[in-house]
Structure 1
C-alpha cells in the first residue's frame, strides 16, 4: 500500500503503568517475548515506519528497568517522566514534542501493543491527515454484549451494531490534543484514551478499522498470543 505520509510524525508511548493483572514480578512492558521485552518490540515496530522519526517513552521516575534496555540509548528514542495516570504521561510527552517543535502530528500507542501492523499504521496516517480532527485504530465488536447488574447477573443485552473496540495508535495534531487533554484534566473529566479527550472537547475523531490481532497484553496468556502474532506477521 502506498501512502501519502508526513515526513514528521512523533509517536508517544505511555509506559508508566504497573500492569497488576499480569501477576508478574515486573511491569508488563518489561516481560519478555523471545529475546526482547514487550516495550522494545513496540518501540522498534514504531521506529521501523518511515513516517515516524522519533518515539517519546513516558517512564515512571526511578524506573530501574528502562535504562537496561537497548532502546534506552537509541538516538530516536526520548525518555520523559510519566505521570500517575495514562493521560498525565501522554501530556508529558506532548509537552516535550511541543517545546522542541518536533512534529505537527503525534501518534499515541500503548506500550503493551507490540503487534500493530505497518499496513494499519499506513491507513491510520492517511485517514487522520485527511480528517479535520484525526483518528484512531478500532475494531468492530463481533461478540454479543451483555450489561451486568450489581449481582453480576445479566441485566440486558446491548445492541452491538455501531459498537467498536478502541485500539491504538490514536493520531491527532499535537497542539489540539495537548489542549484537549490539559483542559479535560483540569476539569476532572474521565479520560480513558486520547480520543475521549477530543470527544470531551466536542470533536468527533475518525474510526479507522484495523486488524483485531493488534492486542493489548493484559493477562498472562496474552504473552503467548502476542508471540504467535509477531512470528506470523514477520516481514
Structure 2
C-alpha cells in the first residue's frame, strides 16, 4: 500500500538579504566550497525522517536552477511570496497537498545546523501538540534604548533567542499563517504565528554555532564553523 512519508522540510529562500549589502542574495553566497543554501539543504538531509525539501524562491530568482545538490532527499521548488510567512505558507501548502503531516521550517541562511540539534527538534515537534523550535537562552545583558541612549536594562531570565528548524503539524501551521495573515508584521517566525493563535510551542535548546547569516562578517564565522565540523 502506498504511504506518504510524514515529514517534509520547507526553506523560505525568496528574500534578498539586504542587511548583508551584497549584489547576490545571501543564500547564494559561496562559503566553504558551496552556496549557503546548499549547506542548509545538506544540513536538513542529515535526518532520514525528512523525505522531501520544498524551497520557496522569488519569481525573479536566476540562481536557484543553476545549483546542484548532492543530497538523496528530493528537492521541490515553489514560488515564494513577498514576506517570509508567504513563502513558508507556499511551501507548507505544497507539502500538505503531497500528504506530509509535519513540516520542519529552516532558514535558507542557517547552514551550520548539526545533526543532533535537528534530530531533537524534529522529535519534539512531532510529539508536542503545538510544535517545537530550536532556541538558545539569552546570555548577554539586554538594554532598551532611545536612539543610542540606554533607558533601562531588561531582565534576561526566561528570554530565549529563536532559531530554526521549527517543526509543526502542517495543518496547524498553515491554519495559523492563514488566520493571522502572511502580511502580518507580527509574524517574525513560524512559532509566532502559532503563538498568535494561542499555541505554546516547546523550546529545544540548540547551539550558538547554528548561526544565521544576516550581517556582514557572519559568513566568515559560518565558514569557520563549517570547516571545523568537517575536520
**What is residue 55 of structure 2 aligned with on the other side?**
57
Does the CA-based 8 Å contact 1:15-1:59 persist in structure 2?
A: yes
What is the alpha-carbon distance in structure 1 between the residues aligned to residue 57 and residue 185 of structure 2?
23
Contact between 1:13 and 1:55, CA under 8 Å: does it hold in 2?
A: yes
Relative to structure 1, is the Cα distance of residues 75 and 125 closer, same or farther in structure 2, using a 3 angstrom cutoff?
closer
The reply on whether 1:106 has 2:126 as its aligned counterpart is no
How far apart are the structure 1 equivalents of 2:68 and 2:20? Answer: 24
Task: Provide the C-alpha distance between the structure 1 equivalents of 2:225 and 2:123, rounded to a whole number of angstroms.
Answer: 24
Off by >6 Å, runs of 4+ in structure 1:
72-75
Change over 3 Å in CA distance of 1:72–1:118 after alignment to 2: closer
For residue 54 of structure 2, give the secondary structure of its aligned residue in structure 1: strand
Deviates more, 1:180-189 or 1:39-48: 180-189
Deviation at 1:8, TM superposition (A): 3.1
Offset, 1:224: 1.0
Match of 1:89 among 73, 82, 87: 87
- CA deviations on 1:121-174 (whole Å, 9 max, x unpaired) are 11112222221211000000000000011x321010000000000000000000
Q: Are 2:203 and 1:195 equivalent residues in the alignment?
A: no
For 1:183 and 1:134, how far apart are their aligned partners in 2? 17
Q: In structure 2, the residue corresponding to 1:229 is in which secondary structure?
A: helix
Structure 2: unaligned runs, 5 residues or longer? none
Tell whether the 8 Å contact from 1:83 to 1:89 is kept in structure 2 after alignment: yes
Q: Deviations over 1:21-58 (max 9, x none)?
A: 11111100000012210001101221232111111000
SS at match of 1:70: coil
Shift in CA distance, 26/42, structure 1 to aligned 2, threshold 3 Å: same
Aligned mates of 1:139, 1:120 — CA distance in 2: 11
- Given the superposition, is the C-alpha separation of residues 186 and 115 from structure 1 closer, same or farther in structure 2, using an over 3 Å criterion? closer
Report the equivalent of 1:12: 10
Gapped regions of structure 1 (runs ≥ 5): 1-6
Kindly tell me: are residues 215 and 72 of structure 1, through their superposed partners in 2, closer, same or farther at Cα, counting changes over 3 Å?
same
Residues matched between the structures, number:
227
Normalization by structure 2: what TM-score?
0.93
* Partner of residue 76, structure 2: 78
Instruction: Return the alpha-carbon distance in structure 1 between the equivalents of residues 183 and 68 of structure 2.
Output: 39
Instruction: Quote the residue 1:129 is aligned against.
Output: 126
Q: RMSD in angstroms over aligned alpha carbons?
A: 1.8
Displacement of 1:186 after TM fit? 6.9
1:170 aligns with 2:166: yes
Is 1:145 matched up with 2:148? no
TM-aligned CA distance change 1:157 to 1:182, over 3 Å: same
